[in-house]
Amino acid sequence: KAGVTQTPRYLIKTRGQQVTLSCSPISGHRSVSWYQQTPGQGLQFLFEYFSETQRNKGNFPGRFSGRQFSNSRSEMNVSTLELGDSALYLCASSLVTDPEQYFGPGTRLTVT
C-alpha cells in the first residue's frame, strides 16, 4: 500500500508570495492533518480535515488555509509569505477508526 505523498518536496519562495502544498493520503484514509515544524517552535498542529470539512484548527493566522477534496487529497495554502513561514510542512493521514497517524515525507519551504 502506498504511503502518504506530499508535493513538492522542496520549495523556495519570496516574501509576499503565496504557496500551495499538496498531500495525498494513504488509500482509504479520510482524515488528513497538517503540521508545521520549525527549529524554534517545534511541531505545531495546523488543521485537520475529514470528509472535506475542517474539524480542528491550530493557532495560526488566517494566512494559513486548507481544503480537502472528495478523494481525500488535501491542499494547504499560505498567502503573503513571511520569512518565519520557512519550515518543514508535514501531512498525516489516518483512518477514523484507528489512532495511528501516518506521515508523509514533508515539504520543505524556504522563504527568502
**C-alpha neighbours within 13 Å on the C-beta side of residue 58:** 15
Q: Which of 55, 77, 82, 84 binds another protein (CB under 8 A)?
A: 55
Nearer to another protein, 18 or 51 (CB): 51
Query: Residue 102, interface with another protein (CB under 8 A)?
Result: yes
Q: How many CB atoms lie within 10 A of CB 99?
A: 6
Q: How many CB atoms lie within 10 A of CB 64?
A: 18
Q: Which of 1, 2, 28, 42 binds another protein (CB under 8 A)?
A: 42
Query: Residue 108, interface with another protein (CB under 8 A)?
Result: yes
Q: Which of 66, 94, 109, 111 binds another protein (CB under 8 A)?
A: 94
